[in-house]
Every structure is written in structure tokens, then in C-alpha cells.
């Protein structure tokens, strides 16, 4: 199994704080059945600043440590990039790192809103040959209140990735329900852990797969497995026709 989003690199952001933390996360990943794990530290988020060259070096070092410890897990390079106006310029100067040096780029939106320039920037990325993947849209307050924002982005070529912990209810019942709505409406294409540690923000893959299988049947899991594999190999992902999420009426009102 392939997990395309994690914070396993030690000492670079709010994920693993030490090599021992990273090794514990690696063992936990293997226990969940993960064989390949994308390290996707925050590019810039407060005090963090992880550019392409530093991530590649840290990934190489961690893979050496895993081999030394005989942990059967391969770390692949990636980066979680908070959307910002100069993203295209930094991509052109080799600061930004797509997943496994592919054409797929993990894009994080602010938790509370969707910047006004988002649609244009994601379109411009596609014109340059890149496919943006919005990570954890189910935790964005504006998208939860107005799912048509995400629908319009997906219709225009953007992909999305839901967090395993969101499907299990780790972030609350509202986010769990919205995550299931996204799956049902074909508005998400990938599941990933976004793991930060082995306690409060662990992988939760097996629990998420149980929820998926119960709600949508086993083929749903295989759909997400296949897309993760296609992504790291820089191939075209499977996409279903997206649908709008219908808001249920309450006492005759929306």
C-alpha cells in the first residue's frame, strides 16, 4: 500500500521531531500495510521552510536509517505546499517539490477559507503541465459550507485527497460525514494519512478502509489504492464524473 502524504521527516516541521520518532512512525506504517510512504513536509508554515533540495537530502538520509534498522519501508519525496501567490515562480526555480518528482503537486488551503486567486492559480499550474492535488479539503471551513467551490475546481481538473483520520471520525462527526459525502460525490481521488506521529495524528489506514468498505464496498478501497500507485508513477489517475453535494433541507429551509 502507498501513502502519499505524511510528515515523517525528523525535525523539519510539526511531524516527527527526532530520528527515533521517525523510526517509530515507520514501524507503525509497516504495521498498517504501507510499503511506500511519501514524506511531504510543509513547504512554509510559520517557522518551517523546506525547499526541494533539503527535502531530497533528508529523504535519502531517512531511507539509509530505515535500511540500517531493517524496516521494510521506502520513503519517497514530496512537499505540502500552502497556496501562495508566488508558487509558480518558485516552482520554476526548483524550490517546490511535486510528489516523487512527478507532475502532481500537493496543495494546502488555509483551514478557514479559500483564497480568491485559488481557481486561477490552479488553472495556471495545469497550463504548466502540473496537476494540483488539494489536500484535506474536508477540513476547510468554507468548502464544508459551500461544497460547490470544490466541485468547480474538480470539474476544471484539480484532484483532491481526503485524510484517513477524517473518514474514521478523528476530526469529528461533521468532518467524517463530509468526507463520506466527498467520496460518494466522486469529489476526491486519493486517501492518505497525513500522519504526524504515532499518537494523536497516526496513520489510521486500516480503520479508514473499514469505513470505506462498509459504506461503499471493497471496490472503493481498490480505487484509492490504484490512484496512489498511478500518482507516484506519474501516470493519469482514474477520475469519475464529479457530482454536486446536495444540501439536505431542515424544516423546509436549507
DSSP result, 69-118: TT---EEEE--EEE--TTHHHHHHTT-S--GGGSSEEEEE--SS---TTH
* Rounded distance between C-alpha atoms, residue 145 and residue 124, angstroms: 26
Q: What is the pLDDT of residue 47?
A: 77
Q: Which residues of the chain have pLDDT under 50?
A: 249-254
pLDDT at position 148 is: 97
| pLDDT for 249 | 43
Q: Domain range spanning residue 11?
A: 2-232
- Whether 239 is in a domain gets the answer no
Predicted pLDDT at 253: 40
* Total number of domains in the chain: 1
Residue 74: the pLDDT is: 98
CA 143 to chain CA centroid, Å, is 16
Query: Do the domain assignments include residue 237?
Result: no
Residue 64 belongs to a domain with what CATH number? 3.20.20.140
* pTM attached to this predicted model: 0.94
- Give residue 59's pLDDT: 98
Question: Could you give phi then psi for residue 68, rounded to 5 degrees?
Answer: -65, -40
Amino acid at each position: 500500500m502507498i501513502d502519499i502524504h505524511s510528515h515523517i521527516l525528523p525535525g523539519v516541521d510539526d511531524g516527527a521531531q527526532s530520528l527515533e520518532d521517525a523510526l517509530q512512525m515507520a514501524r507503525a506504517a509497516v504495521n498498517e500495510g504501507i510499503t511506500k510512504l511519501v514524506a511531504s513536509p510543509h513547504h512554509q508554515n510559520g517557522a518551517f521552510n523546506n525547499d526541494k533540495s533539503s527535502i531530497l537530502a533528508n529523504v535519502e538520509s531517512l531511507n539509509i536509517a530505515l535500511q540500517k534498522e531493517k524496516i521494510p519501508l521506502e520513503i519517497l519525496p514530496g512537499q505540502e505546499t500552502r497556496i501562495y501567490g508566488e508558487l509558480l515562480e518558485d516552482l520554476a526555480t526548483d524550490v517546490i517539490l511535486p510528489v516523487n518528482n512527478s507532475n502532481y503537486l500537493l496543495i494546502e488551503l488555509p483551514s478557514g477559507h479559500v483564497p480568491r486567486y485559488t481557481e486561477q492559480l490552479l488553472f495556471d499550474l495545469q497550463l504548466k503541465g502540473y496537476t494540483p492535488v488539494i489536500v484535506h479539503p474536508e477540513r476547510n471551513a468554507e468548502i464544508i459550507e459551500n461544497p460547490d467551490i470544490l466541485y468547480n475546481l474538480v470539474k476544471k481538473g484539480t484532484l483532491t485527497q481526503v485524510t484517513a483520520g477524517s473518514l474514521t471520525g478523528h476530526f469529528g462527526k461533521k468532518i467524517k460525514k463530509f468526507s463520506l459525502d466527498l467520496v460518494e460525490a466522486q469529489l476526491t481521488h486519493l486517501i492518505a494519512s497525513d500522519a504526524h506521529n504515532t499518537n494523536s495524528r497516526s496513520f489510521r489506514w486500516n480503520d479508514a478502509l473499514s469505513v470505506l468498505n462498509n459504506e461503499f464496498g471493497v471496490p472503493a478501497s481498490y480505487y484509492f489504492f490504484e490512484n496512489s500507485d498511478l500518482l507516484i508513477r506519474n501516470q493519469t489517475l482514474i477520475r469519475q464524473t464529479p457530482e454536486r453535494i446536495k444540501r439536505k433541507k431542515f424544516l423546509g429551509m436549507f
